Amino acid sequence: MLRICSWFVLALGLAGAALADSIDGTLRVVDGDTVDVAGVRVRLHGIDAPERDQPCTTLSGQNWACGDWVTRRVHDLFDGRAARCTPLDVDRYGRTVARCTVGQRDMGQVLVQEGLAYAYRKYSMAYDLDEKAAVIADRGIHGFIMDSPARYRLTRIEGRSAPDPDCRIKGNINADGVRIYHLPGQAFYERTGIRPEKGERWFCSEAQARASGWRPARR
């Protein structure tokens, strides 16, 4: 029994040592908060950027592809540059969660300061003040109307997700292929079913539905 415990402690120590090693190499941007460095897929610690397909709405009501815009901005800032990443954890998708520096600058902090990502307070408060400053300045994504990336992931159709209790707007596609959203209380809300396999989905806000290409039901 003592021998087994000793082996387990040794294994934990070796895993911790491996995790502590830095990852150095040329950085390739995957999306707003995910990069490849030296062949390792890295999820940046402490931030959460819009998903690549995530829409938003301008204050004037114009639909905008925020997720794609963020990815392109991060690419322009960091792609192809030398990076050093310090591993902190491994997420459920097998990605290394790490804090990365490029040219002595904390990449996560830069992205939050520029309004290209949110501070992911669920996991870290490191960038809390950076986000608050970006919000005050309406910088980047803070100048748009959009759901948080976490909420968007909950409602994005992946052939498996159930609607969040707070996301009750029904995005229906009629026989002519027209995308129409129904609010609770409208005439056809109760009889409207959602078929994910047909591309139908649930929304958390009218702004999200409009930005995704759905129009409101007339009654």
Task: Kindly list the catalytic residues.
Answer: 43, 51, 95
E strands, 14-81, are 23-31, 34-37, 40-44, 47-48, 56-58, 63-64
Q: What is the C-alpha separation between 89 and 123, in angstroms, rounded?
A: 11
Length of the chain: 219
According to DSSP, the residues that pair with 29 across neighbouring strands are: 35
Cα 81–150–111 angle (5° rounding)?
25
Contact 95, 43 (CB under 8 A): yes
Q: What is the C-alpha separation between 77 and 28, in angstroms, rounded?
A: 11
As a whole number of Å, the end-to-end CA separation of the chain is 71
Q: Tokens 């669920």 correspond to what residue?
A: 122
